[in-house]
Structure 1
Amino acid sequence: MRPHIGIHDFEDAKVLVAEIPELAPNRKPCFSRGAGMTQGSFVRVGDGDRKLTSYEVQLLLASRGQPKDDEAPVPGTGLADFDATLVTALLNRLRTRRPYAFGELDDVAALQRAKALVADDDGTIVASVGGLLSLGSYPQESFPQLMVTFVHYPTAEGANTETGERFVDNVVAEGPIPVMVRDTLLAVRKNMTRRSVVRGAGRADIWQYPEAALREAIVNALVHRDLSPEARGTQVQIEMYPDRLTIRNPGGLFGPVTEDQLGEEGVSSARNASLLRLLEDVPWPGGTHAVCENRGSGIRTMINALRTARMSLPEFKNRVSTFSVTFPNHTLLGEETVDWLNSLGEHGLSESQCVGLAILREGGYLDNQTYRTETRVDSRVATQELGDLIARELVVQTGNRRWARYRLAPALLPSGGSAGSGVRRSDRRGELLKALEGRERSRVELAAATGLTGQTVAYWLRILRSEGLVEATEEKVRNPATRYRRTGKIALGEDGGTKREP
């Protein structure tokens, strides 16, 4: 191991941090040589270790190369097991869009080149797993669990133990992938409600979850799921709760893609490459657009749809054997949140700062990268805006540099620990003016005298200078050593503000 070692300030202490880089996918799993790969491979869970199952070990080994499970032959099947309408639409698109590869081939040869049909061990032409899933009239006849289950639970914990109600709705979506996506969306839409959100000077009614985001998440779960024989007994699962919706599929992220990279332009990797290629030319039922039109853009489309709806971004959880995406059931800038932001009495907040505060109000935290992802600002703007929120005493920072985390200021939190209606902070001008009475002081000295942070001192000094109540002794106001002094005769108002004496 070659750890990156550094010493960092954290909560008034020095912390020694050794960061161990993750192994490349083609070298996993890491295991104890004495115990062997199957018995000596572990995954970290909380503050303990869990031994990987044999399935998880095999999944990591398969991820060292390009899996071919979607090209595996399905004995006893053939062209007759395909939906004729889907086959015709696929062949027409292939011959129109890719004439060099498919223009001169007959139907069977074209389907073989597209990997929808493959040769069995004895040379018989049969359907592939990917061919059945994208074109099959009823793939579940061969693979009963390659389907989607949707369950709507009555409480955030699942079943209602008081009333005995296990679920509100329970739907199974079967058929080829285009049909499963359509029927799953219908089931989710039937169980969704509409909410009112603030849009400019008015309000608009929107669904709980944007359909574009749901569609991309469902398609991704079906297309990128593990199709190895060990995973064919597990379905794609969708669980709806009052506060969230989770979509889960077997098989974690494949290739070099990590949770932090999801949604970044140019970052894409397909476990089932042939299935994905097929679905780029298989249309939606009754439509002309393909199921997967733009490779690698699904997560970005999902994120953009949520941003447009002013909703929190989804939470991605990548495990060796599963991958899930969870959509929180709230809009960031709903009427209640906008009222809370107005109650803070702050002027000049940017739209991205309002979004950041709304996220923190829901009880979460932010770092620089999360702030950039949520608000679509660059690193420079994110650093500047987060610093401004700290200076306004709306946000507090823990940790430094890459370990910096931001949470809502304690003054805005009720005793319960979640954001309340908003408590206006004290006006700091009087404290600074008192500290400058009869003397000159630098920002560092003012921070020591008042107990305020350097950022808060700088924020209120800018206000006092703009009001003509304080002046710098030199032009270089960005220099921490620059000293400040009061101007003219100033008296404190009874309300804690300031006023110039006549």
Structure 2
Amino acid sequence: MDCQDVVALIEEIRHLGSELDDVEAKTAQGGLPERIYRSLSALSNLRGGGVILFGVDEEQRFAVVGVPDVARLQQELASIASEMRPPLRLHFDICEVEGQRVVAVTVPECPPDQKPCYWGRSRLEEGAYVRVGTTNRRMTVNEIRRLWASYRDDVDAEVVPDASSEDLDWRRVEAYRAQLLHRDPESAAAEQTPEQLLLGVHCLARDGGVVRPTLAGLLLFGRNPQYYFPRFIITITQYTGTEVGQEIIHGRPYLFDTEAQGPIPAMIDKAERTVLGLIKRRAYFDGLTRREIPEYPEFAIREAIRNAVAHRDYTARGSHIDVRLFADRLEVRNPGGLFGDLTVERLDEAPPSTRNPNIMRVLQDLGYVEQRGTGIRRMIAEMRQVNLEPPHFKDAGTYFLVTLKNHTLLDEETLA
């Protein structure tokens, strides 16, 4: 980083009136901040790392106040960087800005397989931080576990030991192959047998001398995946009120209850049809044409369900995806929190890795999902377009919850 870059960063944070996701400002007038290890940890755990500008005062609208003792700051900061686990190699740039010396410290990203980086004088659970917007927050135990899990072998590529090729619906495989060829006639699938095709996308694998379905293969193309994994289903339940069991109808605490089973595409299709058939719709006339406004945008419903299936934690063998319709909201809950270093605040970014890469690849080929991060942005836009609150996302570590609220549609004055 040269001094022109440093000046540009200072001008940018002044213009915005705040720090950046990857840039912090510290005065250093009283020496090195006592908890600077938090910044080193958070920025090193951030994708791409970050920069700390010493000698810039956030409390004075990012005025340049300078660093009184540059050599001492460098020495103390290098010492703390050596105490980080793994140790960090910082890069220092000393620049003259507005007549004062500013020290720009580049904090490199920690190697992904060694994350999270934390302060060695404390326990991992106490010394690991993550950057959330312009603040540093201590990582939760679930976030740390999720990071570790993101660097093990793909779970969906594991062989299902007792399964065989006879457990697959080869008509679905042929339909998949046909779709690949329709999209790209020169695709490698043109020269492959169905078995070779599935081996190539890790839906089949060699287990000794036997070719067996992987978890991805069985879930995507299986005749009856629930024979091996009974809880890999989607439940859809509609309640009368705003809470479970609030009203009892004919001796039951719900209006409607069903399950979507079968391979993943079939489950997605049934779940979407069911939910779209249950939600309310408001009719109006556009001239002589009768039109309907659904309770929730159809795209938002589809995106929530498809993401739940694509990103759920398939190591949670006893858990299922739960879709619940209440009078005021729709909830889609799947086992497993966000994967890797992804946070709720960065959901609209395309993640660098995914929990189920082989399932994701086939679902993308089939047109069910995309991997460019645009789905969440479109969800938010479509909810706002019909004057509804943006979707609410909750990462609880052991599960992820998407909530769509219909408050505006239930407001008759708004509809009038």
* Residue 403 of structure 2 corresponds to residue 326 of structure 1: yes
Of 294, 300, 303, the match for 1:216: 303
Q: Is the 8 A contact 1:257 1:269 kept in 2?
A: no
Unmatched 5+ residue regions in structure 1?
7-16, 44-48, 283-289, 340-502
Pairwise CA distance, 1:84: 2.6
* Aligned residues between the structures: 309
Aligned residue in 2 for 1:70: 156
Q: Aligned letter for 2:254?
A: F
Q: Is the 8 A contact 1:146 1:232 kept in 2?
A: yes
* Residue 198 of structure 2 corresponds to residue 93 of structure 1: no
Q: Hey, what's the Cα distance between the residues in 2 that align with 1:204 and 1:66? A: 50
Q: Within 5 A, what are the aligned runs for 1:477-488?
A: none
Q: Hey, what's the Cα distance between the residues in 1 that align with 2:308 and 2:374? A: 14
Aligned residue in 2 for 1:311: 388
Q: Hey, what's the Cα distance between the residues in 1 that align with 2:412 and 2:352? A: 37
SS at match of 1:233: coil
SS at match of 1:280: helix
Q: Is the 8 A contact 1:132 1:139 kept in 2?
A: yes
Pairwise CA distance, 1:219: 0.7
* Residue 368 of structure 2 corresponds to residue 291 of structure 1: yes
Q: Is the 8 A contact 1:220 1:298 kept in 2?
A: no
Q: Within 5 A, what are the aligned runs for 1:338-377?
A: none
Q: Within 5 A, what are the aligned runs for 1:46-445?
A: 52=141, 58-63=145-150, 65=151, 67-96=153-182, 97=184, 99=186, 101-120=188-207, 122-160=208-246, 165-195=252-282, 205-228=292-315, 231-264=316-349, 269-282=353-366, 290-292=367-369, 295-331=372-408, 336-337=413-414
SS at match of 1:242: coil
Q: Hey, what's the Cα distance between the residues in 1 that align with 2:325 and 2:120? A: 43
Q: Is the 8 A contact 1:198 1:335 kept in 2?
A: no
Q: What is the TM-score normalised by the length of structure 2?
A: 0.63
Pairwise CA distance, 1:174: 0.5
Q: Hey, what's the Cα distance between the residues in 2 that align with 1:278 and 1:129? A: 13
After superposition, what is the alpha-carbon deviation per residue over 1:58-113, rounded to whole angstroms, capped at 9, x for unaligned?
433112x2650011101122332222321111122334527353332222112101
Q: Aligned letter for 1:108?
A: E
Q: Hey, what's the Cα distance between the residues in 1 that align with 2:347 and 2:408? A: 22
Taking structure 1 as reference, are residues 199 and 245 closer, same or farther at Cα in structure 2, changes over 3 Å only? farther
Q: Is the 8 A contact 1:198 1:334 kept in 2?
A: no
Q: Aligned letter for 2:217?
A: G
Q: Is the 8 A contact 2:240 2:247 kept in 1?
A: no
After superposition, what is the alpha-carbon deviation per residue over 1:418-463, rounded to whole angstroms, capped at 9, x for unaligned?
xxxxxxxxxxxxxxxxxxxxxxxxxxxxxxxxxxxxxxxxxxxxxx
Taking structure 1 as reference, are residues 332 and 150 closer, same or farther at Cα in structure 2, changes over 3 Å only? closer
Q: Hey, what's the Cα distance between the residues in 2 that align with 1:138 and 1:306? A: 36
Taking structure 1 as reference, are residues 150 and 29 closer, same or farther at Cα in structure 2, changes over 3 Å only? farther
Q: Aligned letter for 1:272?
A: N
Q: Hey, what's the Cα distance between the residues in 2 that align with 1:170 and 1:31? A: 47
Pairwise CA distance, 1:221: 0.5
Unmatched 5+ residue regions in structure 2?
1-22, 28-34, 48-111, 131-137
Q: Is the 8 A contact 1:42 1:52 kept in 2?
A: no
Q: Hey, what's the Cα distance between the residues in 1 that align with 2:322 and 2:129? A: 26
Query: Higher mean Cα deviation, 134-143 or 250-259?
Result: 250-259
Percent identity between the two aligned chains: 34
Q: Hey, what's the Cα distance between the residues in 2 that align with 1:295 and 1:80? A: 35
Taking structure 1 as reference, are residues 105 and 311 closer, same or farther at Cα in structure 2, changes over 3 Å only? same
Does 1 or 2 have the higher relative contact order (CA < 8 Å, sep 6+)? Answer: 2
Q: Aligned letter for 2:295?
A: Q
After superposition, what is the alpha-carbon deviation per residue over 1:393-440, rounded to whole angstroms, capped at 9, x for unaligned?
xxxxxxxxxxxxxxxxxxxxxxxxxxxxxxxxxxxxxxxxxxxxxxxx
Taking structure 1 as reference, are residues 71 and 38 closer, same or farther at Cα in structure 2, changes over 3 Å only? farther
SS at match of 1:103: helix
